[in-house]
Structure 1
Amino acid sequence: MWGQMQGKTKMEIAAAALSGAVGNLSETQKIGFVAYGHRKEGDCKDVEFMVDAATGTKKEVIEAVKGIKPLGKTPLAYSAAMVIDQLRAAKQKATIILITDGIESCDGNICEIVEEAKDEGIDFKLHIIGFGLKAEDTQQLRCAAEAGDGSYFSAENAENLGEILNVATASTVDKPANNFSVYAVKNGLPMDVYVKAYDIVGKREPILLRTYQDTGYFYLPPSTYNFEVAPLEGSDVDRITVRDIESLENVKGHQTITFDAGTLDVLVTNNGQGWDSMVKVIDPNGEVVATTRTYGVKKEVEVNPGLYKVAIQALKMEGLQTNTEIDSIAIEAAKTLPLVYDFKTGEFEIFTQIGGENIDCVVTIVEEQTGKNVAGSRTYLRGTKFLLNPGNYSVTSKPLGVHKDKAIQSFTIAIEQGETIRKTLTF
């Protein structure tokens, strides 16, 4: 627990999160606190009942948590056995929440301890929170949580730990044992999602679950449900609904939710060079499901598999071909589709002068065939420059300021891809 995370020790983070969760409990809640490995180094029996569950208060637990200094071993199995022994002797039931940032270090097997206690008929629910543990180190802990009719939670940071503790303290031994599990995955990786289970037969209030990038467990009364599943991570993948999921009496159910997204790899160019553009991905209903700005480089957007239209708007260029829409872009699950679109421009630069000196003018450019005004700017005293799509244009220049009475001048230009036209107008 001395390991650092977010600029604090894990012990500091755990103490703050635990104090917050305990503070949320009712004043009448019976609560105890047990610590291990905090008094002696190398002692596999260093387990202390710091607050008696029969008489303990929230304030006593919070004070006890503040005084913990991690020193020694991680005797998970022995700690669990000691707590279970108390329940056996008192003939009481309880919800046990075990928080650990390490695996068993005293040759015990907490899963076996829990399984034997359950076989004996001792009534408890065991939740285990692995704080910053690697997935490959959690097998025994997951086994123990499942055997204890509880859940294993993986906490990765301070906020995560606080949320999980609130969930764990709300799922008590008085509530039915978990009978359904949900695992959400996208392209082979676990997702953190919210699940709302809607009973389409009994019409009860939706039952909620969060997976925390892991398998989530909850109790679903026997019925038929629709699951509304919303991703909580940075992704353009939409929430999905999985329908007609059955929860059966005395049967443990499971549902894997797949968000196998596809990726569109977009590169927008101008005359073959990377170009800054806005890109929108539009679904068949006309809704924009993803947007990105390219800034002249390749950009990826992630969307659900399906058929889309892609709208691209090139920035900092003028003409009739600065926007395009590409239909029937098929995005497949777990695949990347490259999309390259090249705009074309030429350059037009104009200077306006009297007696060899630059003057300020308004310049207006109209596409000749359609008569559409496509660009305009002032020359000030330095001239001005336009990037224009290839085509024929009418250019009008009107002097400003002290020269505003000078006659307007007009002319035509033909813009070709990659070419530069420079024009000096003399008034």
Structure 2
Amino acid sequence: MKAILNALVVVGLGIAPVGAQEACTRDAMVVFDGSGSMAEMGFNLLDEPRIFDARRAVRTVMPQVAPTRRVGLVTYGFGRRESCANVVVRFPPQQDAANRIISEIDRLQPAGETPLTEAIAEAARVLDYKSKPGEIVLVTDGKETCGGAPCQLAGELAAGTDLTVHVIGFRIRGEHFAWPDQPQDTLVEPVARCLADRTGGMYVQAETLDDLIAALRQTLGCQVFGKVTFGRPAMRGVL
């Protein structure tokens, strides 16, 4: 009975549980931050590089998402340090992409800068956002560092056919170092949040591995009502 009630609550909110049989009608692109900060440790109480838990979360969620949604991958941040020429479209949306996404992210070695605006623009082009609907899920731990204007891009994307950008802020920190007895900047939000706000997407802040798993499930899971799938979220924020 409890399981039935939980399922009814999820459907009532308009968000399908991961693993549900409904197929998502909108293709999605994951945009994954592989910049040098994803390899940081010891800064503001990070006991291991962010990339470790990011990989764990992807390994957990993608096998649950891939059977019901065509997903592609864009990465940025690998390669030479202080380089902004590191945006790569790994592959466009495809069926059962879990193993390929997991493999690509497992091999990613964080190093470069953060051209997240260019990465989102590339993902939108792959989705052909001017002629058909789509979803982008950005996983980032920081701000744009390559001169891009994410809020300007958000306006351009919002003028397209029907593109939704979800932003997951993963262990975002402020500009200063905080000692253990000082408040942590856990409420810092990236400027990239405007990408979600202006396209009707969700902004979800994730601090722990469990938070990140839940955020990926929430943003990549099908949005449904009854038997019909929709791309727009029924509500914003963390459920």
Q: Give the TM-score taking structure 2 as reference length.
A: 0.67
Closer, same or farther in 2 for the Cα pair 1:147/1:171, shift >3 Å?
Answer: farther
- Whose Rg is larger? 1
Deviation of 1:141 after TM superposition, in Å, equals 2.0
Q: Distance in 1 between matches of 2:129 and 2:235?
A: 32
Q: Deviations over 1:216-259 (max 9, x none)?
A: xxxxxxxxxxxxxxxxxxxxxxxxxxxxxxxxxxxxxxxxxxxx
Q: Distance in 1 between matches of 2:170 and 2:53?
A: 10
Q: Distance in 2 between matches of 1:73 and 1:112?
A: 20
Equivalent position amino acid for 1:125 in 2? T
Q: Mapping of 1:102-113 within 5 angstroms?
A: 102-113=142-153
Deviation of 1:171 after TM superposition, in Å, equals 5.1
Closer, same or farther in 2 for the Cα pair 1:87/1:181, shift >3 Å?
Answer: closer
Q: Which runs of 5+ in 1 are unaligned?
A: 183-208, 211-427
Q: Deviations over 1:128-152 (max 9, x none)?
A: 1111114675252221111121111
Equivalent position amino acid for 2:219 in 1? A
1:2 is the counterpart of 2:39? yes
Which residue of structure 2 aligns with residue 72 of structure 1? Answer: 112
Pick the structure with more helix per residue: 2
Q: Distance in 1 between matches of 2:93 and 2:146?
A: 26
Closer, same or farther in 2 for the Cα pair 1:72/1:133, shift >3 Å?
Answer: same
Equivalent position amino acid for 1:140 in 2? V
1:116 is the counterpart of 2:156? yes
Which residue of structure 2 aligns with residue 164 of structure 1? Answer: 215
1:177 is the counterpart of 2:232? yes
Q: Distance in 2 between matches of 1:180 and 1:148?
A: 13
Return 81-90 or 22-31, whichever deviates more.
81-90
Q: Distance in 1 between matches of 2:79 and 2:115?
A: 13
Q: Distance in 2 between matches of 1:27 and 1:180?
A: 24
Q: Distance in 1 between matches of 2:152 and 2:163?
A: 15
Name the SS for the 2:122 alignment partner.
helix
Q: Mapping of 1:323-402 within 5 angstroms?
A: none
1:131 is the counterpart of 2:170? yes
Deviation of 1:27 after TM superposition, in Å, equals 2.2
Deviation of 1:97 after TM superposition, in Å, equals 0.7
Which residue of structure 2 aligns with residue 82 of structure 1? Answer: 122
In the alignment, is the contact (CA less than 8 A) between 1:109 and 1:140 conserved in 2? no
In the alignment, is the contact (CA less than 8 A) between 1:100 and 1:129 conserved in 2? yes
1:20 is the counterpart of 2:24? no
In the alignment, is the contact (CA less than 8 A) between 1:39 and 1:71 conserved in 2? yes
Which residue of structure 1 aligns with residue 197 of structure 2? Answer: 146
Q: Deviations over 1:56-86 (max 9, x none)?
A: 6211111111111111010111111111122
Q: Mapping of 1:229-248 within 5 angstroms?
A: none
1:39 is the counterpart of 2:94? no
Q: Give the TM-score taking structure 1 as reference length.
A: 0.39
Which residue of structure 2 aligns with residue 408 of structure 1? Answer: none
Deviation of 1:157 after TM superposition, in Å, equals 1.5
**Equivalent residues, number:** 183
Pick the structure with more strand per residue: 1
Equivalent position amino acid for 1:3 in 2? E
Q: Distance in 2 between matches of 1:93 and 1:24?
A: 22
Name the SS for the 2:125 alignment partner.
helix
In the alignment, is the contact (CA less than 8 A) between 1:87 and 1:122 conserved in 2? no
The RMSD of aligned alpha carbons is: 2.6
Q: Which runs of 5+ in 2 are unaligned?
A: 1-37, 174-185
Q: Distance in 2 between matches of 1:15 and 1:102?
A: 17
Deviation of 1:35 after TM superposition, in Å, equals 0.6
In the alignment, is the contact (CA less than 8 A) between 1:141 and 1:152 conserved in 2? no
Q: Distance in 2 between matches of 1:168 and 1:28?
A: 13
Closer, same or farther in 2 for the Cα pair 1:50/1:56, shift >3 Å?
Answer: farther
In the alignment, is the contact (CA less than 8 A) between 1:125 and 1:172 conserved in 2? no
Higher RCO structure (Cα 8 Å, ≥6 apart): 2
In the alignment, is the contact (CA less than 8 A) between 2:139 and 2:168 conserved in 1? yes
Name the SS for the 1:44 alignment partner.
coil
Q: Deviations over 1:330-359 (max 9, x none)?
A: xxxxxxxxxxxxxxxxxxxxxxxxxxxxxx
Closer, same or farther in 2 for the Cα pair 1:28/1:71, shift >3 Å?
Answer: same
In the alignment, is the contact (CA less than 8 A) between 2:115 and 2:144 conserved in 1? yes
In the alignment, is the contact (CA less than 8 A) between 2:66 and 2:97 conserved in 1? no
Q: Distance in 2 between matches of 1:176 and 1:81?
A: 19
Q: Distance in 2 between matches of 1:176 and 1:90?
A: 16
